[in-house]
Amino acid sequence: MPGKLDDLKTLQKNLARQIKLAPLSHLPRLIGGADVSYIEPGYAIGAVVVYDLEKGKVIEETYAVEKVTFPYIPGFLSFREVPVLKKAFAKLKIKPEVLLVDGQGILHPRGLGLASHLGLELNIPTIGVAKKPLIGEFELPEDKPGAFCPIFINGQVKGVVLRTRKGVKPVFVSPGHLIDLESALKVVKASLSGYRIPEPLRKAHLLTQRLRGECRNNSGWGDRQ
């Protein structure tokens, strides 16, 4: 595995050079959320929802189930989760304008977190919204919704620590692909609904949890592709 990880590090660095960060022309209306949950023995459930900001509701949801072949290794999550999320995304009839991903964007040791890698694969603007930092120097923002502080890597701002709800831990936001930090922050803030996690991402997580419960009660769930 060490030799293989060296090859994957090189691949990540090469892919990171393809990442493009640019401002969005407008605040998108259709925001996607992508999340993955796991069930023994080694299956992943990838869910993608499309949330309409104007209507305040999910207008489409899809999922895929896939055998997990890559182990959990910090910094290499995309090789474990991109395949099942790509399969779920392909089932959408309505494509989101931006996709929120439960993971890192460019806030990554080699600049290619899950959101960045998935954005490259799908050729869609993506935003990483993580619950924990993987890298970077920062201070915690004040305890009020909307407050944020920059996250620095080698002296450059690569993301923000965002307080989404008073009295709860912040989230770590970074652009993934085809979007810049300022636009990413605007999209995440517009997607908040009183919870710690932006609503499209929260809905995707709830979907994976529901599916996981259903799968545990269905011996044939591994075939639900």
Q: Is the dihedral of CA 126, 129, 134, 136 positive or negative?
A: positive
Phi and psi at residue 202, to the nearest 5°? -65, -40
The DSSP 8-state label assigned to residue 120 in this structure reads: H
Q: Is 6 annotated as a binding residue?
A: no
Structure tokens at 171: 């989230």
- Alpha-carbon distance of 206 to 140, in angstroms, equals 27
Short-list 33, 57, 59, 58, CA closest to 47: 33
Q: Is 7 annotated as a binding residue?
A: no
Sign of the CA dihedral 21, 5, 130, 71? positive
Q: Which of 80, 146, 110 is nearest to 9 (CA)?
A: 110
- CA atoms 50, 74, 196, 155: torsion sign: negative
Amino acid at 209: Q
Residue 140 near residue 149 (C-beta atoms within 8 A): yes
DSSP single-letter state for residue 137: B
Strand partners, 32: 50, 99
Binding residues for Mg(2+): 35, 102
Binding residues: 35, 102
